[in-house]
Amino acid sequence: MLDLVDVHIHLPDYPNPGEVVRAARSTGTLLVSCTVKPAEAAANLALKQENHDMVRCFLGVHPSEARNEALSSGMAELAPLADGIGEIGLDPKYSDASRGSRQMEVFTDQLALAERLGKPVEVHSRGAEVSCLEVLSTFRLRAVLMHWFEGEEQLADVLSRGYYVSLGPAVLYSKKARRIASRLPEGSLLTESDGPVVYNALRGAGGPGLIPSVLFRLSEEKHTAFEEMSRMVRANATRFLGGG
Ligand SMILES: [Zn+2]
């Protein structure tokens, strides 16, 4: 029985993804694994096929890779086998993300693919929240997750569109993440680790093992019992992934 959800993790970026899956199995954690580049697509799909009860597979080109990686026909061919498209988005930290840029082209190509296939998307929007939302509004998408979302000023817009927002270990140390948590309706909230990212503020801890702590912190924030919070997040994940 899977009770916990890590809706955003990069299994192909771990030296030993099988170990992470085994640990998550022992805590009953559903893993939604995203790629950052087409070269990871086949490995990510294989992890889902080998662990179909607890791993879901998203395929996408991250904004950090958009300069080097085209949305190769190979990935577009595999995309129908995936559960969704991600991690995709915009981030001016890596390269030009403005209209007409390569990054923007890669983002919009992948949104068009998600629209055509009727798949949910996981969006990285750091430093480009406004333009991400602008572009997203031009597509008819089945479901949208704003992962590790920090755009407090855009939060009302995000929620009015029915998008999901995932919060991770940052809620354990960041006031901003907690402010966002306090404003999220329970039906929009998901939990993530963004593993293999590690958190200096948590003495280098990271990965799906932190999900129970994140959930506990959120249940405190929402004045809800841990089990109830966990049930809600699980139901949100099922809806986001298209299972209900
Ligand atoms: Zn990520």
Output the CA 12–ligand 1 centroid distance in Å. 11
In angstroms, the CA 8 to CA 147 distance is: 7
Domains of the chain, each with CATH number or no CATH: 4-240 (3.20.20.140)
Output the CA 6–ligand 1 centroid distance in Å. 11
CA end-to-end span of the chain, whole Å? Answer: 17
Neighbouring residues of the ion ligand 1, judged by CB less than 5 Å: 87, 194
pLDDT band at 74 (very low <50, low <70, confident <90, very high): confident
Output the CA 222–ligand 1 centroid distance in Å. 25
Output the CA 182–ligand 1 centroid distance in Å. 23
Q: pLDDT tens-digit profile of 154-187?
A: 999 999 999 999 999 999 999 999 999 999 999 9
* Interval 97-102 mean pLDDT: 94
Output the CA 228–ligand 1 centroid distance in Å. 27
